[in-house]
Amino acid sequence: MNTPLAEALSVLLLVAVLAGAVIRPFGLPEAVVAVPAAGIVVATGALSLDHARAEAARLGPVVGFLAAVLVVAHFCDAEGLFRACGAWMARWAAGRPGRLLTAVFALASVITAVLSLDATIVLLTPVVFATAARMGARPKPHLYACTHLSNTASLLLPVSNLTNLLAFGAAGLSFTRFAALMALPWLVAIAAEYVVFRRFFHRDLAAGATAEEPGEPPQLPLFALVTVACTLAGFVVASAVGIDPAWSALGGALVLAGRALVRRRATPLTVVRAAAPSFLAFVLALGIVVRAVVDNGLSDALGRLIPGGTGLPALLGIAALAALLANVINNLPAVLVLLPLAAPSGPGAVLAVLLGVNIGPNLTYAGSLATLLWRRIVHQHSHGVDLREFTRLAAITVPTALAGAVVALWASLHVVGT
């Protein structure tokens, strides 16, 4: 296939895949459009079979890691971790919406970092909604915090986001060095979001609420917490000795799933569903379609735009470009496209891309799959989302958090080094 035709077909199929993921016609999974699209780019020669195999091999370990983390998050929920979090938030807030927002920020940041952004969107958001409803607090600030933090707070660890897993491989850093470099940007971005939220929603937070009657303190699921802690420790050890951290994630998933199976609280089918196989297929297929777009001209076009080096102006430019691209084609395709272009400049440039594709998607609904999923969950709870309000909030938080995080990354690169 000639290059102009291959380029046009690849772009058209990418648009179709993203539209399918956004709209999900008849409630069908994202893979229904993505998998055939990947087959078409290979069958028509828009992407060579060798390049498709290479892309699948590159994404394979990342997808396996994602599956294990999803299983861990599911069985943490089954153990009662998120119900305990809701009870703790209500007790600590004591009928004060401002304190509830602080609790949501703290929990959502930790859960996103440790159990991935999917856990915050799918498992914590309904708990936050129920907690605000029991208190009689206006739910809007707390629900918006869940979606913003599912993106912004996913900067800390390689396991926090699928984009992080991809950047982790491209940066060539150890697990601990990655976390050390991203710790300050993570804190700065969350702090910036918090300050903006307190100001933006001051009227909602000033409205009254009802303190819940004190009851028995929530029982934390110690087995789940210990397993997650051991899994995180396993990530550090595995990275230090050169073992793929996916094995640690698999170990944590097997322990939690095995316990549920032995106690007959789950079936093998439950475990398979928890791993979200259709979403995993979507990720692989999307990667192949994006590779076709890259091979047929997008890489050359972006290569002329992306700044070189790791000085502060270059890092700001890389992050801004990544944020813009994430809102145009979604953050997952954006990171797949930009990582090969940023990698020659070193880990600093790769991490700047990550800041852009993780913080930037808060600007629009289509910026990340997590935001789209959050919107669907909120509507299921009969709570509308005002597009103008969403955009006004994003127009303040995204530039503030992104600029602060990039400056923090630049400082970390000089202090921690790569």
Concatenated DSSP letters for 160-204?
S-HHHHHHHHHHT--HHHHHHHHHHHHHHHHHHHHHHHHHHTHHH
Q: What pLDDT, on a 0 to 100 scale, did the predictor assign at position 4? A: 81
Res 197: pLDDT: 97
Please give the average pLDDT of every successive group of 10 residues along the chain, which has 418 residues. 81 88 78 93 91 88 84 89 86 87 95 87 88 86 94 92 88 92 98 97 82 64 91 84 82 94 93 90 89 82 85 96 90 88 94 97 84 77 77 95 98 88
Q: Which two tokens stand for residue 236?
A: 């550090």
Pairwise CA distance, residues 155 & 193, whole Å: 14
Q: Kindly report the pTM of this predicted structure.
A: 0.84
Say what the pLDDT of residue 333 is. Answer: 85
Tokens 């475990």 belong to residue: 271
- Rounded CA-CA distance 142/96 in Å is 12
What is the number of other CB atoms lying within 10 angstroms of the CB of residue 305? 12
How many Cβ atoms sit within 10 Å of the Cβ of residue 14? 22
Alpha-carbon distances, residue 254 vs 34, 193, 237, 243, 272 (angstroms): 29, 36, 18, 18, 12
Summarised one tens digit per residue, pLDDT across range 205-260 is: 987 666 655 556 667 889 998 999 998 888 888 877 878 778 888 999 999 999 99
Q: How far apart are CA 133 and CA 127, in angstroms?
A: 10
**DSSP secondary structure letter of residue 417:** -
CA angle centred on 327, ends 322 and 329, rounded to 5° = 90
Distances (CA, A) of 216 to 93, 103, 346: 16, 19, 52
The token pair at 255 is: 């322990």
Give the per-residue pLDDT at 236. 82
DSSP 8-state assignment for residue 219: P
What is the per-residue pLDDT for 399?
97
Q: What is the rounded distance in angstroms from the CA atom of residue 389 to the CA atom of residue 290?
A: 32
pLDDT of residue 418: 67
Rounded CA separation 351/345 (Å): 11
pLDDT of residue 415: 92
* Entry field: residues in the chain: 418
In contact, 354 and 343? CB cutoff 8 Å: no
231 touches 72 (CB < 8 A):
yes
Q: How far apart are CA 176 and CA 345, in angstroms?
A: 21
